[in-house]
Amino acid sequence: MRIRDLPTPALIIDATALAQNVATMSAALPGARLRPHVKAHKCTALAAVQAAAGHRSFTCATPREVLGMAANGLGHDLLLANESVDPTRLRAMAAAQDSARITIAVDSVATIDAAAAAGIHDVLIDVEVGLPRCGCAPTDAGRLADHARAAGLVVRGVMGYEGHLMMVSDREAKRAKVAGAMDLLLAAHADVGGDIVSAGGTGTFDLHDRVNEVQAGSYALMDTQYGTLGLPFTQACFVVGTVVSSNGRHAVADVGLKALGMDHGNPAAMTLIEDAGTDGIAGGTSTDVWFCSDEHVTISSVDGQTRVDARVLIIPAHIDPTVAMHEVAWLVRDGEVIDRWPIDLRGW
């Protein structure tokens, strides 16, 4: 089977680009220095590729990801980098601790008590380092760690996600802002203790020499937003569409809002060369994306390349929610489909 034979919209992963991205990150952050974030791909087959590169600790965003990773033998060290007070899901993760090491992020007395009541063994204190999302105040971290230990939990250390800094484009400004965020995290760690200081993402992966693990995830597949930063990773994931209408001025392909994460704006698009060579997926001519609707993307026509039944490559602006909208990813090399990877960690 070749790319052209796939029913569309189809999520495809370029095996060559994926391997390059994994190797590049593994060279920069080998082994336990990287805790890959599986929320970016929600796929145990891809996680197994990361594990084969030496990364046996993983970050998860949902209990479903934790349980799916554990069930697939990828539970050496799993971190739910998210708070939960759902007793059913917490008990399910606690039941999986016989076959996997599972650590839960906590940032309040309520989340600590919920974890302890469910039988969770290990926690990290989640510290807010500038992103107004989850995380306790740095000055409150030590008190929460004491409460967790009094509740019988093992406090493994701290985590803090500087997500508000991922897309800072000025390199030196980003370096200074990351350093300030890590000052907060390290001050909290001094009060908390434990072996783990965890932070970071794809946009700041190479700016962390004071933490012992980085939670990057999008590097494996990439998207157009991260593509603006000049990172040493290439686009490895696309959504293939079929042109279903074309009038010479614009064309319409069958990739719409229900197949793309749109919170970072419109995707990019280019035509697909059917007879790909030996350099992975062969894109043809770039074309302007006019807008997306429920089932369609409207693009500028390219003479001879956007006829009805032609294929186009849509490049997601935000990879994480895009992947989560698909049931399967097709692994391809040089235009040939070589494997079918279920997106088996979808849901919560």
- The CATH number of the domain where 283 resides is what? 2.40.37.20
**Residue 164 φ/ψ, nearest 5 degrees:** -70, -10
DSSP letter (8 states) at residue 266 = -
Region 5-29 average pLDDT: 97
Q: What is the pLDDT of residue 248?
A: 86
**Distance (Å, whole) CA 91 – CA 117:** 9
In a domain, 337, yes or no: yes
Reported as a single tens digit per residue, the pLDDT across 157-169 is 999 999 999 999 9
Q: Is the domain of 177 the same as that of 246? A: no
Q: How many Cβ atoms are within 10 Å of 1's Cβ, its own excluded? A: 11
Reported as a single tens digit per residue, the pLDDT across 168-227 is 999 999 999 999 999 999 999 999 999 999 999 999 999 999 999 999 999 999 999 999
In a domain, 20, yes or no: no
281 has pLDDT over 70: no
Query: What distances in angstroms separate CA 257 from CA 234, 245, 263, 277, one per listed residue?
Result: 24, 17, 10, 31
Q: Is the domain of 205 the same as that of 94? A: yes
Of 274, 178, 167, 174, residue with least CA distance to 224: 167
In a domain, 347, yes or no: no
In a domain, 93, yes or no: yes
Q: Is the domain of 69 the same as that of 209? A: yes
Of 252, 266, 264, residue with least CA distance to 299: 252
Q: Is the domain of 283 the same as that of 255? A: yes
In a domain, 329, yes or no: yes
Kindly indicate the confidence band of residue 275, based on its pLDDT and cuts at 50, 70 and 90.
very low
Say what angle helices 87-95 and 109-118 make with each other, to 10 degrees.
50
Reported as a single tens digit per residue, the pLDDT across 215-262 is 999 999 999 999 999 999 999 999 999 999 999 899 999 999 999 999
279 has pLDDT over 70: no
Q: Is the domain of 172 the same as that of 242? A: no
Reported as a single tens digit per residue, the pLDDT across 90-142 is 999 999 999 999 999 999 999 999 999 999 999 999 999 999 999 999 999 99
In a domain, 225, yes or no: no
Kindly indicate the confidence band of residue 266, based on its pLDDT and cuts at 50, 70 and 90.
very high
31 has pLDDT over 60: yes
Reported as a single tens digit per residue, the pLDDT across 44-78 is 999 999 999 999 999 999 999 999 999 999 999 99
Those residues whose C-beta lies under 8 Å from the C-beta of residue 77, and which sit 6 or more positions away, are 35, 56, 57, 58, 101, 103
Kindly indicate the confidence band of residue 277, based on its pLDDT and cuts at 50, 70 and 90.
very low
Contact status, residue 213 vs residue 204, Cβ threshold 8 Å? no
Q: How many Cβ atoms are within 10 Å of 80's Cβ, its own excluded? A: 25
DSSP letter (8 states) at residue 37 = B
Give the amino acid at 27. A
326 has pLDDT over 80: yes
Query: What distances in angstroms separate CA 120 from CA 54, 86, 124, 184, 295, one per listed residue?
Result: 27, 12, 12, 27, 43
Query: What distances in angstroms separate CA 23 from CA 29, 49, 132, 282, one per listed residue?
Result: 10, 10, 33, 21
Kindly indicate the confidence band of residue 280, based on its pLDDT and cuts at 50, 70 and 90.
low
In a domain, 68, yes or no: yes
Kindly indicate the confidence band of residue 274, based on its pLDDT and cuts at 50, 70 and 90.
low
Q: Is the domain of 58 the same as that of 185? A: yes
Classify 81 as helix, strand or coil.
coil
In a domain, 193, yes or no: yes
Radius of gyration of the chain (CA): 21
The model carries a pTM of 0.95
Please count the structural domains in the chain: 2
Q: Is the domain of 252 the same as that of 197? A: no
Q: What is the mean pLDDT of the chain?
A: 96
Q: Is the domain of 239 the same as that of 301? A: yes
Q: What is the pLDDT of residue 278?
A: 41
CATH number of the domain at 193, please.
3.20.20.10
Domain that holds residue 201: 30-215
